[in-house]
Amino acid sequence: MSGIVLGANRYGKAEVRLVRAARRGERHELVDLEVTVALAGDLADTHLSGDNNKVLPTDSQKNTVYGFARDWNRDGVAEIEEFGLRLARHFVDSQPSIHKARIEILEYSWERLSVDGEPAPHSFARSGRELRTATVSYDGEHAFVVSGLRDLVLMNTTDSEFQGYVKDRYTTLSETTDRILATAVNARWRHLALDTAWGKSYAECRRHLIEAFAGTHSRSLQQTLYAMGHRMLTHRPELAEVRLSLPNKHHFLVDLSPFGLDNPGEVFHASDRPYGLIEGTVARDGVPPAPLAWDLSEGGL
């Protein structure tokens, strides 16, 4: 029917769960990933007529992830950014109909167990801390790597204030010079180049982010957000931009006075919902934007 057209589209396999055990004699190493593949390209036929002759099945994509994992650390200890680059390039370079690929990887961290004070050769506990993430985008010509972390829960029990804000008809909040500041950091940072030492870069970015959180006397969560991004970009020349999404996990001081008790900043109700949500980008000036790094299909989906 005339007048109706197919717009931006993509497809892929989501949440492929993969554990990679590397056996070096008695001592094993462990990598635990969730991989999501998204592909875009010359895919109109399958939408318009159900002709699949340009469609690589998502089942094959899943198999590819497992197959590539066999060679995970062919060249030494691999990182998720490299794994993503290999996969993204494979799909675009081997499939004529696929013009763009995005590989998103979550890494669950594990710690080696100790037995009688000695590191155990093949026993691990999931650390449960934040997830490390990597998103690799590739269009046959350019590749972009965005590293990041998800759900790093941080709290300052003081050194946070909030005052001097706009008051309107609906404002009942009291100004405060001492509150708890807590958030679950979701951060992503785009790299300028592809020859980064990913593991060390991640560790240092995480460290600077945390130290900016701990070291900033906060007048707003926005200020803390900017301080995080600013510090990361200042210390890590490999970064182009940092995007942060910070829920403000409210902790309300409980009024204990009805029970004859004071509460000098000690007992708090940790609230789930609603929560503030502060989101922002901090960028290196003059670096050209890279829409592909953030969005596989022009125009968004």
Residue 200: active-site member: no
Q: Please identify which residue in 180, 192, 199, 204 interacts with a second copy, judged by CB under 8 A.
A: 180
How far apart CA 14 and CA 237 sit, in angstroms, is 32
10 versus 99: smaller Cβ distance to a second copy: 10
Q: Tell me which residues in 201-240 interact with a second copy (CB under 8 A).
A: 210-211, 213-215, 218-220, 222-223, 225-226, 229-230, 233-234
Residue corresponding to tokens 């300028």: 192
Q: Please identify which residue in 24, 76, 141, 166 interacts with a second copy, judged by CB under 8 A.
A: 166
3 versus 76: smaller Cβ distance to a second copy: 3
Q: Tell me which residues in 246-265 interact with a second copy (CB under 8 A).
A: 247-248, 251, 254, 256, 258-265
Q: How many residues does the chain have?
A: 301
231: amino acid identity, one letter: R
Q: Please identify which residue in 9, 140, 194, 199 interacts with a second copy, judged by CB under 8 A.
A: 9
146: amino acid identity, one letter: V
Quick check: helix, strand or coil at residue 46? helix
Closest C-alpha to 9, from 35, 39, 49: 39
Stretch in the footprint of a second copy (CB under 8 A) among 81-89, 134-142, 193-201, 283-291: 283-291
As beta bridge partners, residue 87 has none
CA atoms within 13 A of residue 144's CA, in its CB half-sphere = 22
Size of the site for a second copy (CB under 8 A): 153
On the 0-12 / 13-18 / 19+ scale of CB atoms within 10 A, 157 is: middle
Residue 250: active-site member: yes
21: amino acid identity, one letter: A
Cβ atoms of residues 79 and 20 within 8 Å = no
- The verdict on 274 binding a second copy (CB under 8 A) reads yes
- The verdict on 12 binding a second copy (CB under 8 A) reads yes
Could you tell me the smallest distance in angstroms from the CB atom of residue 261 to a second copy?
5
Cβ atoms of residues 126 and 108 within 8 Å = yes
197 versus 261: smaller Cβ distance to a second copy: 261
Could you tell me the smallest distance in angstroms from the CB atom of residue 167 to a second copy?
8
195 versus 273: smaller Cβ distance to a second copy: 273
Could you tell me the smallest distance in angstroms from the CB atom of residue 145 to a second copy?
17
Q: Which two tokens stand for residue 297?
A: 């299909």
Catalytic one of 58, 157, 230, 235: 58
- The verdict on 123 binding a second copy (CB under 8 A) reads yes
Q: Which residues contact residue 238 at a Cβ distance below 8 angstroms, ignoring those fewer than 6 apart?
A: 191, 192, 193, 196, 201
Q: Tell me which residues in 45-104 interact with a second copy (CB under 8 A).
A: 46-64, 66-67, 69-70, 72, 94-95, 97
Residue corresponding to tokens 């590989």: 103
Cα torsion through 108, 9, 101, 277, rounded to 10 = -40
- The verdict on 139 binding a second copy (CB under 8 A) reads no
Catalytic residue annotation: 13, 58, 250
